[in-house]
Chains A and B, each alone.
Chain A
Amino acid sequence: MNAPTYAPIRTTSVDQMGLEARADELGSRSIKTSSKRAALHLAVRCIDLTTLEGADTPGKVASLCRKATRPDATNPGIPPVAAVCVYPEMVAHAASAVAGTGVAVASVAGAFPSGLSDLDVRTDDIRCAVADGADEIDIVLNRSAFLSGDLSTVHDEVAASKEACGDAHLKVILETGELGGYEPVRRASMLAMAAGADFIKTSTGKIPKAATPAMALCMAEAIREYAHQTGRAVGFKAAGGIRTSKQAWHYLVLMGETLGPEWLTPDRFRLGASSLLNDILLQLGRLDSGRYGGPDYVTLD
């Protein structure tokens, strides 16, 4: 194996029991009704509204973008989401649909969701997406190299991807469900941040093992340690299996308690989701009307 190409990074080991207990505890905190609306609005502002399906069409992306800029057609008080997240082929359609609205375009790239193709192909994929108008790029970590212990390759690939991004933000998906535990996730987090990631992200949403609050806490602790070591603030994106408002504010609490309120902005925190937005709209409707809504009163995605 080659000598590391990156400056040595210290990785703190993880106390699994303590981590899981802490994550659970943060989830059981009750949110007072007076704070709920603010929390839900913040969650909306932090959403990367996502469609990553083989069946995506320009028309579907256009309607997703309309929903992103104005989540509830009947209520202009609900803020737009942070970004729409699409496949590279759809970036140009999304970019024209959200132009001038403040909603960013994020694109997965680099042989998503496996990341297993030639590095040149992956960086070209990134450059194409950026050229088409992507403001943010979501790539996957090379788990194959990571699990083989070839950390230098992992680091260099992320660094090369960061370079290919140019001015676009780079989010690195660790796919925590495939890394095999908290320790490797923490190590992968440090590696991705050292290689230049602007965000680290939990999952692709393409495997059954989705984001868990404990994994998120593990990554948030890594972000805190990295910020402490280097002074650079890296963002966090939770994705995969986040469908309910309750889950969303669990992540908000977790970020706020671990990294502080300065991480509770769309610049440093994102929720990758599709059906979550409808659940939040139903919750906000319930707060406004005092009655329970239903799926007939939000759009079908």
Chain B
Amino acid sequence: MGGHLPVNKTFKLFIGGAFPRSESGHTFQLRSDDGRLLANAARASRKDLREAVRAARSAQAGWAGRTAYNRGQVLYRVAEMLDARRDEFVAVLRDGGRSDESARNEVEQAVDRWVWYAGWADKVHQVLGTVNPVAGPFFNFTYPEPTGVVVQAVPDDPPLLGLASRLAPAIVTGNTSVVLAGEAAALVAMSLAEVLTTSDVPGGVVNILTGDRAGLLPWALGHLDVNAVDLSGAPADLPDEALADAAENVKRLVHGDATAASPSVIAQFLEMKTVWHPIGR
């Protein structure tokens, strides 16, 4: 008896640790470079975005309240699980038209990127925090705090490394993220969701929406419960009104490089808080 019938995966969304279909019921087709149907993926609607932001908001305090050491361990666990599924990601990247070598290279770099940012979890405060000289009997500290809920339009290319290079520095300090993956990177992003869900990342810390990124971004920019929007992979022609809406609640709008790795990327998703404390006698 031969002829095993292949079980094709239906890619859904990743919201609050679960994999729901889009509320709208809409899907789109993902095709390989040579036109082969790879999968049907969910096309997220603005209501899915709303749910994802809600999930991210409710997870944020708990995630930020964990010890830095623990968040580092969780990110390291993501790297472990990603490494264990290396072949699957190589296959996904190859379906996107990459050579075996370049695909393998990218997966390895992405694993390294997660490990690298995991290490920063309990170091970033020492590097970015300061003790400031003031003219009075006070200690004056500046220390970084997470911004809150971040919506990230991640770069499409390179898909896996780009996602790691933007997502890991955002969540390592206690932010929670809603990732808007472009159509081209949808398969990689949703495969990563399966890694995240098995990596002790609490539900809601990372949420991934696929589909119409350009259509969702104005909703994210106008959403008053979103604290920052990462525009690294966003189209250049965002409507001016959407950007003006973003200013309403003083959102952080950040742009970044798809492959850069630096503590200054972590700093893009941080607020610096300064406190004065009297020096006792």
Residues of chain A within 8 A of B248, CB atoms compared = 291
List 15 A-B residue pairs with CB atoms under 8 Å apart, sorted by A's residue number. Answer: A291-B222, A291-B248, A292-B50, A292-B53, A292-B222, A292-B224, A292-B225, A293-B225, A294-B223, A294-B225, A294-B226, A295-B57, A295-B225, A296-B225, A297-B224
Q: With A and B bound together, what is the CA distance between A6 and B224 in angstroms?
A: 57
B225 nearest CB neighbor, chain A only: A294
Residues of chain B within 8 A of A292, CB atoms compared = 50, 53, 219, 222-225
4 tightest A-B CB contacts, nearest first: A294-B225, A291-B222, A292-B223, A294-B224
Q: How would residues 200 to 235 of chain B score, 1 for a CB under 8 Å from any chain A CB and 0 otherwise? A: 000000000000000000010011111000000000
Query: Restricting to B44-59, which residues have a CB under 8 Å from any CB of A?
Result: 50, 53, 57
Give the shortest distance, in Å, between B110 (CB) and chain A (any CB).
32
Residues of chain A within 8 A of B245, CB atoms compared = 291
Which of A's residues lie within 8 Å of B, judged by CB? 290-297
Q: Do most interface residues of chain B lie in helix, strand or loop, or is the interface mixed?
A: helix
Residues of chain A within 8 A of B224, CB atoms compared = 291-294, 296-297
List 11 other contacts, CB 8 Å, given A294-B223, A296-B224, A296-B249.
Answer: A291-B224, A291-B248, A292-B50, A292-B222, A292-B224, A292-B225, A293-B224, A293-B225, A294-B226, A295-B57, A297-B224
Q: Do most interface residues of chain A lie in helix, strand or loop, or is the interface mixed?
A: loop
User: A291 near B223 (CB under 8 angstroms)?
Assistant: yes
Give the shortest distance, in Å, between A70 (CB) and chain B (any CB).
21
Q: With A and B bound together, what is the CA distance between A296 and B53 in angstroms?
A: 14
Residues of chain A within 8 A of B223, CB atoms compared = 291-292, 294
User: B219 near A294 (CB under 8 angstroms)?
Assistant: no
Which of B's residues lie within 8 Å of A, judged by CB? 50, 53, 57, 219, 222-226, 245, 248-249
Give the shortest distance, in Å, between B12 (CB) and chain A (any CB).
21
Residues of chain B within 8 A of A296, CB atoms compared = 224-225, 249
Give the shortest distance, in Å, between A114 (CB) and chain B (any CB).
33
Residues of chain B within 8 A of A290, CB atoms compared = 222
A294 nearest CB neighbor, chain B only: B225
A292 nearest CB neighbor, chain B only: B223
B222 nearest CB neighbor, chain A only: A291
Residues of chain A within 8 A of B226, CB atoms compared = 294
Give the shortest distance, in Å, between B220 (CB) and chain A (any CB).
9
Q: With A and B bound together, what is the CA distance between A170 and B146 in angstroms?
A: 51
User: B50 near A294 (CB under 8 angstroms)?
Assistant: no
Residues of chain B within 8 A of A295, CB atoms compared = 57, 225
Q: With A and B bound together, what is the CA distance between A295 and B57 in angstroms?
A: 10
Residues of chain A within 8 A of B222, CB atoms compared = 290-292
A291 nearest CB neighbor, chain B only: B222
Q: With A and B bound together, what is the CA distance between A297 and B249 in angstroms?
A: 10
Q: With A and B bound together, what is the CA distance between A290 and B50 in angstroms?
A: 13
Q: With A and B bound together, what is the CA distance between A292 and B248 in angstroms?
A: 12
Q: With A and B bound together, what is the CA distance between A294 and B225 in angstroms?
A: 4
Give the shortest distance, in Å, between B186 (CB) and chain A (any CB).
24
Q: With A and B bound together, what is the CA distance between A295 and B227 in angstroms?
A: 12
Q: With A and B bound together, what is the CA distance between A71 and B62 in angstroms?
A: 30
B149 nearest CB neighbor, chain A only: A294
Residues of chain A within 8 A of B57, CB atoms compared = 294-295
Residues of chain A within 8 A of B53, CB atoms compared = 292
Q: With A and B bound together, what is the CA distance between A295 and B249 in angstroms?
A: 12
Interface centre among B219, B224, B245 (most CB of A within 10 A): B224
B245 nearest CB neighbor, chain A only: A291
Q: With A and B bound together, what is the CA distance between A296 and B245 in angstroms?
A: 16
Q: With A and B bound together, what is the CA distance between A292 and B224 in angstroms?
A: 6
Q: With A and B bound together, what is the CA distance between A296 and B222 in angstroms?
A: 14
Q: With A and B bound together, what is the CA distance between A256 and B281 in angstroms?
A: 71
Q: With A and B bound together, what is the CA distance between A293 and B53 in angstroms?
A: 11
Q: With A and B bound together, what is the CA distance between A294 and B148 in angstroms?
A: 13
Give the shortest distance, in Å, between B17 (CB) and chain A (any CB).
20
Give the shortest distance, in Å, between A106 (CB) and chain B (any CB).
31
Give the shortest distance, in Å, between A289 (CB) and chain B (any CB).
8
Q: With A and B bound together, what is the CA distance between A293 and B222 in angstroms?
A: 9
